[in-house]
């Protein structure tokens, strides 16, 4: 693998880092060491990198802001690709915005509000990248990316750049085309917003921030809601009724503020969090017969 990393460095396709602690790049603040992080400078460099990795049969993973992923504590014996250089933002005519996959969703929401554009207020507290938000169809307050996305430029598994319209993205509750089609990578998004009143939009964002502080454990590392809400129910309520608030495994704990949050309470390992997620899932299944869908993506688990 050292020789592979040396070859990547010689390609001059972007910054390369070796032996990177994944806990520094995930919101759970856990994970082992990745042998290499690569930051492609543009789409051409990304294509070159992926073609090389596939040819050499090297494991790779695209990582956004690490807000919806749980890495194991083991060494990731491959390449982590970060699209932070894909961060251009351009506000277009007709209240549209074109934005790169590596841009922060929260920052984009703030920019839209500042320009008096409505539609992304729901995203003001979602700490992911735009690409990650598209993958998960991130949402809150009865809205999500599927309501505002017009088109998505993606890289296909055979390294072709194509554009998918909203309907082709198959957005549903916390799901999208990208989830069901591994190997597709979000590169760029066009979002359609509406003209709004900046002061009113700022008030909405401020009020929602207050509600998040009151109801969510923002003082501890977490990855947001662990389970999707079953239709007509709230996962947090189901978990709370089982008396699991405050339940701990090692340094991981079911939040006392919100039962659908698992937090890194005290130097948790990835295994602590993984096992606690699985425990809560099993308890809900046994008691209610409900198979909760886990929102977080498990990476590098055997």
Assess whether 18 carries a catalytic annotation. no
φ, ψ of residue 2 in degrees (nearest 5):
-60, -40
d(CA 280, CA 287): 11
Phi/psi of residue 172, each to 5°?
-140, 180
Query: Is 295 a known active-site residue?
Result: yes
Residue ranges of alpha helices (H) inside the chain are: 2-11, 43-55, 105-114, 130-136, 177-180, 198-215, 235-241, 270-288
Q: What is the DSSP letter of 232?
A: T
Of 18, 98, 174, 248, the catalytic one is 174
- Buried b or exposed e, range 18-49, using 16+ CB within 10 angstroms: eebebbebbbbbbbbbbbbbbbbeebebbbbb
Instruction: Give the active site residue among 67, 72, 176, 225.
Output: 225
Mark whether 7 is an active-site residue. Answer: no
Residue appearing with tokens 């090389």: 52
Widest Cα–Cα separation across the chain: 56
Q: What are phi and psi of 171, to 5 degrees?
A: -70, 130
Neighbours of 225 (CB within 10 A): 20
Residues belonging to the chain: 302
Task: With H, G, I as helix, E, B as strand and everything else as coil, classify residue 191.
Answer: strand
Taking phi first (over 0 means left), then psi (-120 to 50 degrees means alpha), and beta for anything else, what does residue 189 get?
beta
Helix (H) or strand (E) holding 67: none
Q: How many CA atoms lie within 13 A of 1 on its CB side?
A: 14
Catalytic residues: 174, 225, 295
């Amino acid at each position: 693998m050292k020789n592979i990393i040396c070859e990547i460095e010689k390609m001059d396709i972007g910054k390369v880092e070796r032996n990177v602690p994944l806990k520094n790049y995930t919101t759970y603040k856990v994970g082992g060491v990745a042998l290499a992080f690569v930051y492609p400078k543009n789409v051409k460099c990304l294509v070159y990198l992926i073609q090389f990795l596939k040819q050499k049969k090297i494991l790779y993973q695209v990582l956004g802001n690490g807000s919806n992923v749980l890495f194991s504590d083991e060494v990731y014996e491959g390449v982590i690709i970060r699209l932070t250089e894909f961060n251009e933002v351009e506000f277009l005519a007709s209240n549209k915005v074109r934005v790169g996959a590596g841009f922060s969703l929260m920052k984009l929401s703030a920019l839209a509000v500042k320009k008096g554009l409505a539609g992304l207020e729901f995203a003001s507290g979602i700490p992911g990248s735009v690409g990650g938000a598209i993958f998960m169809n991130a949402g809150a307050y009865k809205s999500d990316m599927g309501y505002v996305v017009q088109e998505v430029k993606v890289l296909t598994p055979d390294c072709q750049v194509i554009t998918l319209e909203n309907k082709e993205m198959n957005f549903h509750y916390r799901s999208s085309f990208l989830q069901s089609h591994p190997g597709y990578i979000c590169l760029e998004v066009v979002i359609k917003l509406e003209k709004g009143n900046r002061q009113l939009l700022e008030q909405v964002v401020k009020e929602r921030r207050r509600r998040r502080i009151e109801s969510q454990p923002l003082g501890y590392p977490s990855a947001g809601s662990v389970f999707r809400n079953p239709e007509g129910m709230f996962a947090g309520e189901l978990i709370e009724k089982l008396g699991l608030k405050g339940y701990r495994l090692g340094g991981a704990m079911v939040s006392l503020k919100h039962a659908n949050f698992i937090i890194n309470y005290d130097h948790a390992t990835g295994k602590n969090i993984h096992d606690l997620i699985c425990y809560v899932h099993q308890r809900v299944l046994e008691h209610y017969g409900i198979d909760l869908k886990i929102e977080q993506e498990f990476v590098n688990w055997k």
